[in-house]
Amino acid sequence: MCLLRGGQREYSFAAHQFQIPFLASEMGLQGDGDKSMESDRVVDNSNEISMQDEATHVNGFLSYRIPTSKRKAASDWVKNFQLVERKSEMNQLVNYIAKAYLNGLQVLSVWGIAGVGKSALVRNMYFDRIHRNDQLFEKYGWVDVTHPFNLRDFSRSLLLDFYSEPVQAMRIRDPTQECHKIIQDNRCLVVIDDLQSIEEWDLIQAALVSRPSRSIIIVITTEASIATHCADNEGVVFNVKGLEDKAALKLFKKQVHKQKPSSPIKDSRDEELQELILKCGGLPKVIVAVAIFLAPKTVTWMDSASSLNLKFMQELESSPEFACLQPLFGWLHSYFRTCPDFLKPCIFYLSIFPRGHRIRRRRLVRRWIAEGYARDTDKISADERGEHFFCRLLDLSIIMQKTYSVTTTFGGRRMTLCQVNSFVREYIISRQMEENLVFELGGSCTLTSQRTGRHLIILKSWDRDRIVFESIDFSRLRSLTVFGEWRPFFISDRMRLLRVLDLEDASGLKDEDVKQMMKLLCRLKYLSLRGCSEISRLPNSLGCLRQLETLDVRHTSIATMPTTITKLKKLQYLRASTTKPTEEQPIPDTAGAPKPTEKQPTPRTTVSWTSSLFCRHRQLEGVEVPTGIDKMTALHTIGVVNVDSARGRAILKEVRKLTQLRKLGVSGISRNNSKDFCLAISSHAHLESLSVRLKKDNQDCLYVTPDGYLPPKNLQSFKLYGLADKFPEWINKLDNLRKLVLEMTILTEDTINGLRDLKISILRLIAKQLPDGKLNFCVMLNGQQLRCYETVKVLEISCSSSLDVTFGSQALHNLELLKVSCCSGSGSVMKLSGLEKLSESELKEVQIKGSHDDKLKKDVEEQLGRHQKKPVLKME
């Protein structure tokens, strides 16, 4: 039993009350739920349900038992509905409530896009507690916010839900005050659904919420900003995401079976049907509606599915069969109608990327800047403004994080990869046709004079018909994006207004093609050849692109930049390297996803997050740049620069003059140039991200720093590759560091212990070998475990030898994600111990890749089963 204090009151509860005895999946309600689950529930509530409501006087106000009608509703829900593929979310929601109670927090929030099933998830938990006669709460209230908002009407609705009699019959003159008293003097679970503004919450909070209190209030909303404002802290803000592809298909088939058990659809593997389900964007409301529409069809179901797929948004929005989706469309219409004008172009721009395509955040933001959607102001830069726009769309679930891919910002984290919600993407496409903004070439196109617009997309599936291409009107074209094979005729002298040329991961591109681009497209602001491995050099005519702001040639074969690059005075963002993507890439979320098709290109830059230097061959990482870069004063991002050359020291001295740098990557650091490097970065006021690769056999060159060296005080991300068995001590002086990546030959216990007090959020350790193959996250002093690694939320461990990791009970209390990789050959051993001891952590997911067997899987599953947060295990 735990004893907690609420103001001047003391109360206790059993810790097991936080555990829901069954964890039916969620999202998409299934009638006539699995009867076998009833044995795990407290189902004999006949005495409780038949009890008459009784009123008593407590502290001068009327107090009622839970109304019979509410118990009946809870019982019906439990018996007749089940939620599909939401076991993890159910666990998380229960844990959020537990966290709020244990920390004396009163308000938590649940947010997500309309139709994602937020209310269903919360209602499942809400009714389950009533049905089980949970002693944690005495009273339950659920209120749907009506609009326009009226506080008195809101209070009256909540009061009606608390009691079984009409408010008028109870002669309560002030429903708001009565609600306040009930919430203050009872252990209540109150759910406020469909809150739409911060102003609404401020009125509710001022009138009804008093602190301290033993009640828990759950606010459900569609916007992250509202959810964050309402919750007592960010630790109790729960984001409900759409179903993954596999779960969406499962929900669809279950709903079809419920509607018509004999339907042939439930066993179908039709690709067009799968594409139709993917268009639903993981929104259970839409998936269920489509299933109900198709289930009655027999012989004609394939034609119906094909027709719906072809006119997806038009049918869903206007057909009477989909009337249940009108509230969802109402939310979309309302948002787009009231959306700020400066944000609308950013939203419509998202349709440039194919459905399911993983988009790098920086790629999107830099393109927005080149298009003029994000501009400098007297208070904020265009880059910062673009990042702000990205966060706005993330808060609305228009874009979403599909994989656990994060980087750092001061005071927090942000994702590196995102996807556009497929349903929202279809909605955007249906709207933008009116303005003729985006047009694409895919499949086998017929000749037409109507192809014109500002943004052209060439899909991998297009048959590359030159006649069709040359019939296009390019007079308004601002951007060209190519997926798949490149053809030389894609560049035309009629593209005079082209600002963005994005060829990331295109195949077949040659040096001569690049030379032609420089000749014809002199107004470019954005040029990306990222992933075009056949490109080995850039022509001197690069210097003619005087408007160029972004140049990305990472993962190409370019080893040297032309001298004319120094003429690009407006260049802000220069990314270049000759390496293949390795550990910096997040693990792809491929579970249950369909194989890549023409409509779902798989970018070659999205690969496994594990493979370290020791697991595969790597080429030289940096590129050489000419002297004179100190004149490129607009640069805020540059890397990776190879300084292992005759002019390397001179380049480092010029880097010192680039005072606006925020991100820097260098390779080839050695004893010969380490002093120049240290002085180059010393006291760089704006530097936030630094990546350094040491030259071979120079592992110790940064252990000693020159006189006058001051580490960059605002550095948030530091990646250091090529160490021996320890790291430079000055890392501990980086007070604002949030992400640390260390690649070492040998990772010792002393090294691990030296990191224990760093206030970092992301820690990535890459080692060739470990002493005895063991790694211990447990620091002992006088026989007692010390609290350590307290701020780490993401821990990644990659080793090319046997790996035996142990976790102590006082370590990693804020850990959310654990990634472990062992890339050694046969006979290697991977072992994880003490995962259940991370019970105080926020662990949500464990990812394991490399050498493992069924025994390891079973062992890890057993440990995670004993963890109170029930983390998800993913193995590859």
pLDDT at 406: 58
pLDDT at 580: 47
Does pLDDT of 250 surpass 70?
yes
**Among all chains, which residue has been given the structure tokens 């963002």?**
573
Say if residue 345 is preceded by a cis peptide, omega within 30 of 0.
Answer: no
DSSP characters over 429-458: HHHHTTTT-EEEE-SSPPP-S--B-SEEEE
Instruction: Answer for the pair 539, 514: CB distance below 8 angstroms, yes or no.
Output: yes
Rounded Cα distance, 776 and 182, in Å: 50
- Chain centroid offset of residue 603 CA: 18
Q: How many residues does the chain have?
A: 876
pLDDT at 11: 33
Rounded Cα distance, 180 and 193, in Å: 18
Nearest to 96 by CA among 78, 110, 77: 110
Characterize 706-718 residue by residue with b for buried, 16 or more Cβ atoms within 10 angstroms of its Cβ, and e for exposed.
eeeeebbeebbbb
Rounded Cα distance, 362 and 415, in Å: 10
**CB burial class (10 A; 0-12, 13-18, 19+) of residue 56?**
exposed
* pTM: predicted TM-score of the whole model, two decimal places: 0.85
Rounded Cα distance, 291 and 295, in Å: 6
Instruction: Answer for the pair 180, 207: CB distance below 8 angstroms, yes or no.
Output: yes
Contacts of 734 (CB under 8 A, 6+ apart): 711, 712, 715, 718
* Amino acid identity for residue 353 in this structure: F
DSSP label at residue 286: H
Nearest to 101 by CA among 235, 193, 192, 206: 235
Residue 685 lies in a domain: no
Contacts of 855 (CB under 8 A, 6+ apart): none
Strands 107-111 and 830-833: unpaired
DSSP label at residue 761: S
Residue 254 lies in a domain: yes
Rounded Cα distance, 249 and 272, in Å: 13
Is 87 found in the same domain as 230?
Answer: yes
Residue 130 lies in a domain: yes
Q: Which of 377, 406, 426 is the last residue of a domain?
A: 426
Provide the residue range defining the domain that includes 64.
Answer: 20-239
Average model confidence (pLDDT) across the chain: 84
Is 269 found in the same domain as 235?
Answer: no
Nearest to 703 by CA among 682, 684, 723: 723
Contacts of 722 (CB under 8 A, 6+ apart): 693, 694, 695, 696, 698, 699, 743
**pLDDT confidence tier of residue 433, bands split at 50, 70 and 90:** low
Nearest to 473 by CA among 436, 503, 443, 444: 436
Is 108 found in the same domain as 220?
Answer: yes
Is 318 found in the same domain as 225?
Answer: no
What stretch of H or E contains 140?
A: strand 139-144
Instruction: Answer for the pair 460, 353: CB distance below 8 angstroms, yes or no.
Output: no
DSSP label at residue 800: S
Is 183 found in the same domain as 104?
Answer: yes
Is 360 found in the same domain as 220?
Answer: no
> Structural domain tally of the chain?
3
Say if residue 728 is preceded by a cis peptide, omega within 30 of 0.
Answer: no
Does pLDDT of 549 surpass 80?
yes
**pLDDT confidence tier of residue 166, bands split at 50, 70 and 90:** low
Rounded Cα distance, 829 and 820, in Å: 13
Instruction: Answer for the pair 70, 130: CB distance below 8 angstroms, yes or no.
Output: yes
| Strand spans (E) along 164-264 | 188-195, 216-221, 237-239
Strands 779-781 and 784-786: antiparallel
Rounded Cα distance, 469 and 65, in Å: 73
Instruction: Answer for the pair 260, 222: CB distance below 8 angstroms, yes or no.
Output: no
Is 226 found in the same domain as 121?
Answer: yes
Which of 375-384, 436-445, 801-810 shows the lowest mean pLDDT across its residues? Answer: 436-445
Say if residue 122 is preceded by a cis peptide, omega within 30 of 0.
Answer: no
Residue 94 lies in a domain: yes
pLDDT at 828: 64
Is 377 found in the same domain as 326?
Answer: no
Instruction: Answer for the pair 777, 745: CB distance below 8 angstroms, yes or no.
Output: no
Is 285 found in the same domain as 212?
Answer: no
What are the tokens at 419? Answer: 């996807």
Rounded Cα distance, 113 and 109, in Å: 14
Residue 849 lies in a domain: no
What would the mean pLDDT of 523-530 be, rounded to a whole number? 98
Is 319 found in the same domain as 259?
Answer: yes
Supply the Cα-derived Rg of the chain in whole angstroms: 29
Instruction: Answer for the pair 667, 693: CB distance below 8 angstroms, yes or no.
Output: yes
Strands 81-83 and 29-31: antiparallel
What would the mean pLDDT of 514-536 be, rounded to a whole number? 96
**pLDDT confidence tier of residue 402, bands split at 50, 70 and 90:** low
Residue 580 lies in a domain: no
pLDDT at 327: 92
What would the mean pLDDT of 332-357 be, rounded to a whole number? 91
What stretch of H or E contains 677?
A: helix 674-681
Report the CATH number at residue 194. Answer: 3.40.50.300
Residue 639 lies in a domain: no
Q: Which of 426, 453, 476 is the last residue of a domain?
A: 426
Rounded Cα distance, 261 and 865, in Å: 34
pLDDT at 435: 58
pLDDT tens sequence across 30-77: 443 333 333 333 333 333 333 334 444 444 444 446 778 888 999 999
Is 284 found in the same domain as 345?
Answer: no
Q: Which of 274, 299, 330 is the last residue of a domain?
A: 330
Is 196 found in the same domain as 121?
Answer: yes
Residue 200 lies in a domain: yes
CA distances from 142 to 156, 213, 465 (A): 12, 18, 59
**pLDDT confidence tier of residue 255, bands split at 50, 70 and 90:** very high
Report the CATH number at residue 345. Answer: 1.10.10
